[in-house]
Amino acid sequence: PRQPAKTLWYDRPRYVYLEFCVEDSRDVKVVIENERLVFSCKNADGVEFYNEINLYARVNSKDSREKRSDRSITCFMRKWKEKVAWPRITKENIK
């Protein structure tokens, strides 16, 4: 059974950061598209995590990347329109 990973996000003038809180992640796959992000991995217990996020606004997928640490995977996504604040991370107005 797949479940969504706990996710934190930060809005900055040039970038949006998404942090997926999964300790000891394995088989990490991150696909950053212009208007969507797909994340999947497994933890040490073999639990599968999967998040698919339709982004609030367009990002530059070629100038975006991710970084894995022991406790989380952080995605750095370059905003298409810099210095425009995002009120939320998704297109949908839901939590």
**Is residue 91 a part of any domain in this protein?**
no
**Is residue 48 a part of any domain in this protein?**
yes
Buried b vs exposed e over 4-26: b needs ≥16 C-beta within 10 Å? ebebebeeeeebbebbbebeebe
Give the tens place of pLDDT for each residue, 50-82.
999 999 999 999 999 999 999 999 999 999 999
| CATH number of domain containing 43 | 2.60.40.790
- Region 11-33: mean pLDDT is 97
Q: Per the structure, how many domains does the chain have?
A: 1
**Is residue 40 a part of any domain in this protein?**
yes
Question: Whats the size of the chain, residue-wise?
Answer: 95
**Is residue 72 a part of any domain in this protein?**
yes
**Is residue 23 a part of any domain in this protein?**
yes
From the list 5, 91, 1, the residue with the least C-alpha distance to 75 is 5
CA pair distance 51, 33, nearest whole angstrom = 14
Name beta bridge partners: 65. 76
Give the global pTM: 0.93
Give the tens place of pLDDT for each residue, 34-56.
999 999 999 999 999 999 999 99
Domain that holds residue 40: 2-78
